[in-house]
């Protein structure tokens, strides 16, 4: 019985055979008898027919049983590379490449061959053999172009995939001009692509890739020229439906927005925004779910683009998206692209330094109000819960900054702690009358540890004048141990480890362990190390974030200023 070439050499199958080669024949014989059905998740489209695949199915079922006891059943190509290594994976693919004469006689075989070619290109690039990868891509692209037994569309699409893979290799190897030449060769065939129903997607991706290449190589004018050509090609592709043309053009606009730089090419970006408005109107007129998704994506890209240059305009664009979301319940559906874009737009705003922390916190409340409305309309949903977590994560830094700012000049939040030295309890209030430097740190923080000698110097220079340095950490699960282990510890064991740590690192200042993680939240701590200066009256007066700020001369000036005050006055 003969197995079809494209099935016999398919990557996943070859991967399995490669791994199994390491298992002895005796081990295989010891396994239970094979069944006559393919293994789980085996894609039957790679098999010409059940009759021809019978022998392969039997063999694969047997091998799967053996593999389950050793390494499991590899279901992804990456598993093969992990098990066999890059060189081993190349050896697996080689028979497929060499069988091009057989495989390029059928569409199924050509797809198997093309996947192997693209895998080989990637592997050569991963090994740093870029010239080999480029030469290989060129040769294989020519082979597929000459495979006249295949339909023209198959040759065109598979050849394009190989050419794009070759472009990526050029880009990785910093051969930017060569990559641009290659992508231009693909674009020159736009009329051929747009004759086919599936060609629009292929051409759209090629134009997007060209936009990215030109942008990243600093060729802003050329990038916008490619964008305009692509828009024209799709506008003239009358064999495509209006919905498809609009969708492809909307994707090109989104890509151009993502890669545009308003500071370098303001006129081009201004023109691009006018194009956005035109297509937003056209999509609104259609009013279907697909168009809603495209509108959401365009508004998202506007927010992202403006977030880096103009905070006020970015917020205006975000409010526009908010209003648009509110106008139609289907846009607030948990699975909708519109809601996803809405959350992504907030993330873009929250993570940009151009937006005041107070405004980010206020916008986060607005977003959560929309999510509340979603939940009232759709019920409790995992996606909505996930979005809430995203909002919390994105706004956390701003919330902490607002908290820290609000504390300045006000009484420090009180808390209880345990002293590392002897396990005795204590309270922050007990240090009234002293200037307290509260150093938030943890044992796995390199900058914290590197700052210990500086803290020792501060203690030596200013302790006699009333400075108390408290190194505040918490009962984290990953407590330090010299051998690197991090088991769950009792409180006493944790304190013992911290004493060992302090002795080894020659820590001179007092170390304390907070009894509640809420302490960090109350002080608005965003990361370690962070130092908070508290005056003699117990008021927060200064916050330094990061080892550089703590070691800076300005921080020592703040300490001296507070030490000179007798009652904590400002």
Dmax (CA) for the chain in angstroms is 97
Report the Cα 52 to chain-centroid distance in Å.
Answer: 43
Mean pLDDT of 399-418: 93
CA 212, 218, 222, 224: dihedral to nearest 10 degrees? 60
pLDDT at 553: 92
Q: What's the 3-state SS for 199-233? A: HHHHHHHHHHHHHHHHHHCCCHHHHHHHHHHHHHH
pLDDT band at 310 (very low <50, low <70, confident <90, very high): confident
d(CA 264, CA 319): 26
Note the pLDDT tens digit of each residue in 191-212.
888 888 788 998 999 999 999 9
Report the Cα 157 to chain-centroid distance in Å.
Answer: 29
pLDDT band at 120 (very low <50, low <70, confident <90, very high): confident
pLDDT band at 473 (very low <50, low <70, confident <90, very high): very high
Mean pLDDT of 101-113: 85
d(CA 202, CA 230): 12
pLDDT at 74: 31
Closest CA to 558 of 471, 467, 433: 467
pTM of the model: 0.65
Least confident stretch, 54-68, 129-143, 229-243: 54-68
Least confident stretch, 59-63, 302-306, 481-485: 59-63
Look at 103 and 88; give whichever has higher pLDDT.
Answer: 103
Note the pLDDT tens digit of each residue in 24-75.
333 333 333 333 333 343 344 333 433 444 444 444 344 344 333 333 333 3
pLDDT band at 181 (very low <50, low <70, confident <90, very high): confident
d(CA 202, CA 196): 10
CA distances from 418 to 422, 448, 493, 498, 529 (A): 8, 20, 13, 12, 20
pLDDT at 83: 54
Q: Are strands 540-545 and 530-534 parallel, antiparallel or unpaired?
A: antiparallel
Q: With beta carbons less than 8 A apart as the criterion, state whether 246 and 279 touch.
A: yes
Q: With beta carbons less than 8 A apart as the criterion, state whether 264 and 217 touch.
A: no
């Amino acid at each position: 019985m003969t197995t079809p070439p494209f099935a016999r050499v398919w990557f996943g199958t070859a991967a399995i055979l490669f791994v199994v080669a390491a298992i002895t024949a005796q081990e295989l014989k010891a396994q239970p008898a094979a069944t006559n059905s393919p293994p789980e998740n085996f894609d039957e489209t790679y098999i010409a027919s059940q009759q021809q695949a019978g022998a392969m199915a039997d063999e694969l079922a047997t091998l799967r049983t053996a593999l389950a006891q050793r390494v499991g059943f590899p279901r992804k190509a990456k598993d093969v590379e992990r098990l066999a290594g890059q060189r081993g994976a190349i050896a697996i693919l080689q028979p497929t490449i060499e069988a091009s004469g057989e495989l390029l006689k059928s569409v199924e075989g050509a797809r198997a061959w093309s996947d192997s070619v693209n895998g080989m290109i990637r592997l050569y690039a991963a090994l740093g053999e870029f010239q080999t990868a480029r030469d290989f891509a060129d040769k294989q692209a020519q082979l597929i172009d000459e495979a006249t037994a295949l339909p023209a569309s198959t040759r065109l699409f598979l050849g394009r995939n190989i050419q794009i893979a070759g472009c990526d290799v050029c880009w990785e190897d910093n051969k930017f001009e060569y990559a641009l030449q290659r992508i231009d060769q693909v674009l020159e065939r736009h009329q051929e692509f747009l004759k086919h129903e599936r060609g629009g997607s292929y051409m759209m991706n090629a134009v997007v890739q060209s936009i990215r290449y030109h942008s990243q190589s600093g060729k802003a004018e050329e990038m916008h020229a490619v964008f305009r050509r692509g828009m024209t090609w799709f506008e003239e592709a009358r064999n495509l439906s209006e919905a498809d043309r609009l969708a492809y053009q909307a994707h090109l606009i989104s890509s151009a927005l993502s890669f545009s730089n308003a500071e370098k090419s303001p006129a081009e970006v201004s023109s691009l925004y006018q194009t956005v408005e035109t297509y937003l109107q056209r999509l609104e007129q259609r009013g279907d779910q697909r168009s809603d998704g495209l509108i959401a994506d365009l508004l998202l890209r506007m927010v992202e683009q403006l977030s880096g240059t103009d905070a006020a305009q970015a917020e205006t664009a975000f409010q526009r998206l908010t209003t648009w979301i509110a106008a139609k319940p289907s846009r607030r559906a948990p699975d909708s692209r519109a809601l996803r874009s809405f959350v992504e737009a907030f993330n873009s705003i929250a993570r940009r330094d151009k937006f005041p922390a107070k405004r980010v916190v206020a916008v986060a409340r607005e977003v959560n109000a929309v999510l509340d409305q979603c939940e009232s309309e759709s019920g409790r949903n995992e996606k909505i819960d996930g979005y809430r977590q995203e909002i919390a994560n994105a706004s956390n830094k701003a919330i902490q900054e607002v908290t820290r700012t609000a504390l300045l000049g006000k009484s420090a939040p009180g808390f209880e702690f345990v002293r590392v030295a002897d396990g005795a309890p204590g309270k922050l209030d007990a240090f009234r009358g002293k200037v307290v430097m509260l150093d938030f740190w943890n044992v796995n923080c390199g900058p914290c540890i590197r700052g210990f000698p500086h803290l020792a110097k501060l203690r030596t220079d200013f302790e006699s004048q009333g400075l108390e340095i408290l190194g505040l950490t918490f009962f984290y699960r990953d407590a330090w141990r010299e051998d690197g282990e991090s088991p769950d510890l009792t409180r006493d064991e944790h304190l013992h480890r911290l004493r060992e740590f302090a002795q080894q690192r020659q820590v001179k200042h007092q170390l304390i362990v907070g009894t509640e993680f809420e302490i960090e939240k109350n002080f608005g701590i965003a990361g370690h190390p962070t130092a908070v200066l508290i005056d003699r009256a117990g008021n927060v007066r200064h916050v330094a974030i990061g080892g550089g700020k703590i070691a800076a001369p300005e921080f020592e000036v703040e300490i001296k200023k507070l030490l000179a005050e007798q009652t904590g006055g400002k």
